[in-house]
Amino acid sequence: MRAVPQVTFQIYNLRPVRTKTVYAFVDADMEIGGVEFRVCGIQARHLPGGGTAVHLPCYRDVDGSWRAAVDLPEEVRDALSAAVLEVLVEEGVAVGRGEAPKSAAE
C-alpha cells in the first residue's frame, strides 16, 4: 500500500473584489509531505444559479486560452477548495451549503 503524505493548508489574505465572476481572492500556504509552498491569487467565483467555485490562479497562454498556473492532484485540489470555502463562510463572504443568505440588516 502506498503511503499518503499529510497535507495542511493555511488560507489567508482574503481580498473581496467586484467583477463579473470573481468575488474574492485568497492566498494559501501548503505543506505536502514536508514540502512547503505558497499559492497566491486563488479565486472564489460565482456559479450561474448560485453557489461558489474555487479556481487556481490562471494565466493567458500564447494561443489566448486561460490555463491554471498551478497543476495540483485532484485530491489536493479538492481539499484546498474545501479549506478556501470554509474560510469564505467563516468570514461571511460566502454562504455555507444549506444556509440561507444573511440579509443586509443582520
How is the chain split into domains, by residue range?
A: 7-90
Residue with cell 448560485: 50
Mean pLDDT of 74-88: 95
% of the chain surpassing 90 pLDDT: 76
- Could you tell me which residue, 53 or 102, shows the higher pLDDT? 53
Which amino acid would we find at residue 51? G
% of the chain surpassing 70 pLDDT: 88
Question: Please, are residues 83 and 11 in contact by the beta-carbon 8 Å criterion?
Answer: yes
The whole-angstrom separation of Cα 30 and Cα 39 is 8
Quote the pLDDT of residue 79: 95
The whole-angstrom separation of Cα 4 and Cα 2 is 6
* pTM of the shown model: 0.84
Q: Domain 7-90 in CATH: superfamily?
A: Stage V sporulation protein G (3.30.1120.40)
When the pLDDT of each residue in the chain is averaged and rounded to a whole number, the result is: 89
The whole-angstrom separation of Cα 16 and Cα 44 is 9
Neighbours of 89 (CB within 10 A): 15
Model confidence over 17-62: pLDDT tens digits? 999 999 999 999 999 989 999 999 999 999 998 889 999 999 999 9
In 15-40, which positions are buried (b, 16+ CB within 10 angstroms) versus exposed (e)? Answer: eeeeeeeebbbbbbebeeeeeeeebe
Does 104 score more than 50 pLDDT? no
